[in-house]
C-alpha cells in the first residue's frame, strides 16, 4: 500500500488499517492461487505486507515545495494532484511517484518453479485498485491447472394424462403505471444493502452511492467540521460539513461553524435527522467542460453543470455545493458575503429546504421501466410546503402592485439639529432608496428564483434571514445607485433589501426562532460544540471508509435505481 496522506500528520507514519488491507489483498491472492487447483505445498506460500512510507527528510522537502507553490500544507498539494487540479511541476511528478501513482500499490506474485539445472522465477503484479480484495485468478502456472469436468445435459419432455377438468385462470393483466419524471427529479443508484426490509433507507444513504464510495475509498474527503449538540429531549445529534479535495482556511472554518451553530437550534435539532452530509467541492471541479473524470463535483450519477451552485437530494439526506479555492482572507470575506456565495447557498439548502421537509416516512416502491433495471420510485411527499399560503398571497398581490414598493429606514436631521430615524413605504424610483439604511420588499417574493414555487420562496427567504445577507436590488430588477465615498466604495447605506415581512415570519416561526430577528436569533439556543477533525477520526465516516474499501464494487445494473427529487440552486 502507499503512504497514508489524509492529513500531514499521517504522512510518513505506517497506518495499521493500510497494513491490514495489504495483508487481506495478499491473502486473497493466495486463496485465488489455491483455487486454481495448482499442486503447491502450503509451506511455500508465504505472504508479506508493507506500506511504502517516505522519510522525514523527504517529507520536509516536499512540504517546503508545497508551501512555495501556494498550498497551505503537503496534504492539500497531494489532494490537488490526485484530483487532477494541480499544474504540471516537479512537485506534481514527485507526488505521483510517491503517493498517487499506481506503482507503489498492488499485489506482487512471485512463482519460483524448479526445473533441471535451473530455477525459473516469474513475477506478476496485479494492478493497484482501491477496492475490496478481489484478486483475479493468476495465470502463470497453466500446466498445473486441471480442466473442470463438463457434464452434458439432455433435454426431454414428459407427458402426463389428466383425468379431470382443469380450470385455467386468465392471464393477469398488468396495468401500466405512468412515472412522471419532473424537472426536479433524477435517477440515482445506490447499493442494495442500503435498503432496509421495510423499504426505507439506512442512515447516511449517500455513503452507499458509487460516487461517495469512491471518494471514501480514495480518501478524497480532506477535512471535516462536526457540530455536536443535545436537543431538548436529551438526544445527542451531529451535523457534518465535509470538504472534498480542498483543505479549508481558518476563515472558511469560522464561517461554516457559525452556520452549523444556527442550524442546530432550528426546530430543536431536527435538521440533523434530515441532512447527514453537507459536502463542499472546489469550484474548478464543477461542470463537465474540463472532461476530467477525477474532478468530481455536484451530482450523483451525472455531474451537474457549472452554473449549479448547490443541491439537496432528499432521499440521500445530502447537500452539495462548491466554492472558490482560495486561502486569501479578503477574497473569502467577499465570497461569504455574496448572494451567489457558498454561505448563502448552504443556508438555502439546509435552513431552507432542510426545515421545509415533512415528517412523513419515505418508502421505495419497485416499478418496471424500460432501460432502467431495478427501478424504484419514492412513495410519500418529502416537502412540507410551509410557504404555500403566503406564496399564493404574494403572487396575487404582485400582479396588482406596480411599481415595486419597499419599507425603508433612513436618517434625517430635524429642525432642532437632531438626527432622527424615519420609516416610510416608498416606491422603487423614490430618491430615498439611495440612502436607506434598511430596506424590505413589500408584497413580492424576495427573488426571481423564489418565483419558481413555494418551496424555493421559503428557501430564499430562509437563506437571507439565516445569514443576514441582504438581497441585491438587481434581483428585483430595481436600479438603485448606492452613494459612494471619494475612493468609489459604497458607504454604509443599504446595498440590498430583505424579504417580505410575512415570509420572514413564516420562516422564523417555523424553526422556533425569535420573530423579527435578522439575522436569525434564538431566545434559548442549543449548546453546540464544533470540532475540526480528520475525517478518518470521525467514527461514522471512518466506518464508511472501511466498508467502502472492503465492499465489492458493483456494476450500475446491480444497484438499486431510485427516481429521487433533487432541488438545485443555480446562477441566473
C-alpha to C-alpha distance for 102 and 129, rounded to whole angstroms: 8
Band of pLDDT at residue 148, cut at 50, 70 and 90: very low
DSSP 324-379: -----HHHHHHHHHSTTSHHHHHHIIIIIITTSB--SPPEEEE--BTTBTTEEEEE
C-alpha to C-alpha distance for 130 and 552, rounded to whole angstroms: 11
Comparing CA positions, the residue from 534, 530, 539 lying closest to residue 227 is 530
174 exposed, middle or buried (CB, 10 Å; 0-12, 13-18, 19+)? exposed
| Positive or negative: CA dihedral 452, 318, 323, 255 | positive
pLDDT at 112: 64
Residue 554 and residue 189 in contact, taking contact as beta carbons nearer than 8 Å: no
| Positive or negative: CA dihedral 460, 464, 466, 469 | positive
Mean pLDDT of all residues in 361-390: 88
Mean pLDDT of all residues in 379-404: 84
Band of pLDDT at residue 401, cut at 50, 70 and 90: low
Whether the predicted pLDDT of 489 surpasses 80: no
Scored b (16 or more CB within 10 A) or e, 148-161 reads eeeeeeeeeeeeee
The winner for highest mean pLDDT among 37-46, 147-156, 219-228, 430-439 is 219-228
Q: Which helix (H) or strand (E) holds 278?
A: strand 277-282
C-alpha to C-alpha distance for 311 and 318, rounded to whole angstroms: 8
Tell if the pTM clears 0.75, that is, is over it.
Answer: no
Q: Are strands 308-313 and 560-570 parallel, antiparallel or unpaired?
A: antiparallel
C-alpha to C-alpha distance for 299 and 303, rounded to whole angstroms: 4
pLDDT at 109: 66
pLDDT at 431: 86
Whether the predicted pLDDT of 141 surpasses 90: no
Scored b (16 or more CB within 10 A) or e, 368-387 reads ebeebebbbbbeeebbbebb
Which residue would you say has higher pLDDT here, 369 or 304? Answer: 304
Q: What is the pLDDT of residues 248-286, one digit of tens each?
A: 999 999 999 999 999 999 999 999 999 999 999 999 999
Q: How far is CA 3 from the centre of its chain?
A: 26
Q: What is the pLDDT of residues 532-558, one digit of tens each?
A: 999 999 999 999 999 999 999 899 889
Whether the predicted pLDDT of 135 surpasses 80: no
Band of pLDDT at residue 330, cut at 50, 70 and 90: very high
Comparing CA positions, the residue from 175, 466, 497, 426 lying closest to residue 346 is 466
**Portion of the chain with pLDDT greater than 70, in percent:** 80
pLDDT at 531: 96
Peptide bond into 251 cis (omega under 30): no
Whether the predicted pLDDT of 403 surpasses 90: no
Mean pLDDT of all residues in 464-489: 85
Band of pLDDT at residue 105, cut at 50, 70 and 90: low
Mean pLDDT of all residues in 131-154: 46
**SS3 state at 190:** strand
Whether the predicted pLDDT of 136 surpasses 80: no
Q: Which of 90-94, 400-404, 566-570 has the lowest mean pLDDT?
A: 400-404
**Portion of the chain with pLDDT greater than 90, in percent:** 47
- The DSSP code for 523 is S
Number of Cβ within a 10 Å radius of residue 262: 23
Q: What is the mean pLDDT of the chain?
A: 83
Whether the predicted pLDDT of 188 surpasses 70: yes
User: Where are the domains positioned within the chain?
Assistant: 8-144, 185-384+523-570, 388-507
Which triple of cell numbers denotes residue 68? 512555495
Whether the predicted pLDDT of 335 surpasses 90: yes
Whether the predicted pLDDT of 167 surpasses 70: no
* CA distances in angstroms from 570 to 20, 229, 287, 411, listed in the order given: 44, 32, 12, 37
Describe the chain by its helix, strand, coil percentages, rounded to 5: 35, 20, 45
Angle between helices 388-400 and 501-511 (to 10 degrees): 170
Residue 226 and residue 236 in contact, taking contact as beta carbons nearer than 8 Å: no
Which residue would you say has higher pLDDT here, 95 or 226? Answer: 226
Which residue would you say has higher pLDDT here, 14 or 423? Answer: 423
pLDDT at 164: 52
Q: What is the pLDDT of residues 193-225, one digit of tens each?
A: 999 999 999 999 999 999 999 999 999 999 999
Mean pLDDT of all residues in 453-463: 94
Which residue would you say has higher pLDDT here, 358 or 508? Answer: 508
Whether the predicted pLDDT of 127 surpasses 70: no
Residue 265 and residue 231 in contact, taking contact as beta carbons nearer than 8 Å: no
**SS3 state at 107:** strand
pLDDT at 256: 97
- Cα-based torsion angle of the residue sequence 26, 27, 28, 33 in order, rounded to the nearest 10 degrees: 90
Whole-number CA gyration radius for the chain: 30
Whether the predicted pLDDT of 67 surpasses 90: no
Mean pLDDT of all residues in 240-249: 94
Amino acid at each position: 500500500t502507499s503512504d497514508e496522506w489524509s492529513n500531514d500528520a499521517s504522512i510518513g507514519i505506517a497506518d495499521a488499517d493500510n497494513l491490514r488491507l495489504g495483508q487481506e489483498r495478499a491473502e486473497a491472492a493466495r486463496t485465488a492461487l489455491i483455487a486454481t487447483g495448482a499442486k503447491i505445498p502450503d509451506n511455500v506460500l508465504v505472504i508479506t505486507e508493507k506500506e511504502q512510507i517516505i522519510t522525514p527528510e523527504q517529507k520536509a522537502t516536499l512540504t517546503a515545495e508545497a508551501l512555495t507553490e501556494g498550498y497551505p500544507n503537503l496534504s492539500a498539494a497531494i489532494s490537488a494532484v490526485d484530483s487532477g487540479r494541480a499544474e504540471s511541476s516537479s512537485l506534481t511528478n514527485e507526488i505521483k511517484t510517491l503517493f498517487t501513482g499506481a506503482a507503489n500499490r498492488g499485489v506482487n506474485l512471485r512463482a519460483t518453479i524448479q526445473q533441471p539445472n535451473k530455477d525459473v522465477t516469474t513475477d506478476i503484479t496485479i494492478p493497484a485498485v482501491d477496492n475490496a480484495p478481489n484478486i483475479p485468478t493468476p495465470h502463470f502456472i497453466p500446466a498445473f491447472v486441471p480442466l473442470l469436468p463438463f457434464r452434458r445435459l439432455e433435454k426431454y419432455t414428459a407427458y402426463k394424462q389428466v383425468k379431470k377438468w382443469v380450470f385455467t385462470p386468465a392471464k393477469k393483466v398488468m396495468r401500466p403505471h405512468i412515472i412522471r419524471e419532473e424537472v426536479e427529479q433524477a435517477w440515482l443508484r445506490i447499493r442494495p444493502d442500503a435498503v432496509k426490509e421495510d423499504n426505507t433507507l439506512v442512515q447516511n444513504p449517500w455513503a452507499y452511492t458509487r460516487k461517495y464510495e469512491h471518494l471514501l475509498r480514495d480518501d478524497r474527503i480532506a477535512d471535516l467540521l462536526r457540530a455536536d449538540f443535545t436537543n431538548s429531549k436529551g438526544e445527542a445529534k451531529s451535523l457534518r460539513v465535509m470538504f472534498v479535495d480542498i483543505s479549508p482556511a481558518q476563515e472558511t472554518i469560522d464561517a461554516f461553524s457559525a452556520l452549523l451553530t444556527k442550524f442546530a437550534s432550528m426546530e430543536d435539532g431536527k435538521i440533523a435527522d434530515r441532512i447527514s452530509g453537507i459536502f463542499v467541492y472546489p469550484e474548478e471541479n464543477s461542470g463537465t467542460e474540463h472532461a476530467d473524470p477525477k474532478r468530481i463535483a455536484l451530482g450523483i450519477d451525472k455531474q451537474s453543470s457549472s452554473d449549479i451552485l448547490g443541491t439537496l437530494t432528499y432521499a440521500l439526506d445530502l447537500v452539495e455545493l462548491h466554492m472558490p479555492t482560495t486561502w486569501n482572507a479578503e477574497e473569502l470575506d467577499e465570497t461569504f458575503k455574496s448572494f451567489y456565495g457558498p454561505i448563502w447557498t448552504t443556508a438555502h439548502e439546509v435552513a431552507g429546504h432542510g426545515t421545509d421537509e415533512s415528517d412523513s416516512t419515505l418508502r421505495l416502491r419497485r416499478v418496471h421501466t424500460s432501460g432502467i433495471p431495478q427501478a424504484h420510485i419514492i412513495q410519500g411527499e418529502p416537502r412540507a410546503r410551509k410557504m404555500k399560503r403566503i406564496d399564493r398571497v404574494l403572487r396575487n398581490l404582485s400582479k396588482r402592485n406596480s411599481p415595486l414598493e419597499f419599507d425603508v429606514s433612513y436618517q434625517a436631521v430635524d429642525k432642532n439639529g437632531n438626527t432622527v430615524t424615519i420609516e416610510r413605504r416608498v416606491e422603487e424610483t423614490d430618491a430615498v432608496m439611495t440612502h436607506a439604511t434598511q430596506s424590505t420588499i413589500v408584497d413580492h417574493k424576495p427573488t426571481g428564483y423564489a418565483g419558481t414555487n413555494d418551496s424555493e420562496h421559503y428557501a430564499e427567504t430562509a437563506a437571507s434571514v439565516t445569514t443576514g445577507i441582504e438581497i441585491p436590488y438587481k434581483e428585483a430588477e430595481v436600479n438603485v445607485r448606492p452613494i459612494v465615498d471619494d475612493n468609489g466604495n459604497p458607504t454604509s447605506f443599504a446595498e440590498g433589501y430583505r424579504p417580505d415581512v410575512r415570509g420572514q415570519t413564516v420562516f422564523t416561526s417555523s424553526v422556533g426562532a425569535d420573530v423579527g430577528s435578522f439575522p436569525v436569533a434564538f431566545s434559548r439556543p442549543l449548546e453546540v460544540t464544533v470540532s475540526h477533525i480528520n475525517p478518518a477520526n470521525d467514527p461514522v465516516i471512518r466506518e464508511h471508509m472501511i466498508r467502502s474499501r472492503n465492499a465489492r464494487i458493483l456494476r450500475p445494473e446491480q444497484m438499486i435505481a431510485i427516481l429521487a427529487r433533487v432541488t438545485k440552486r443555480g446562477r441566473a
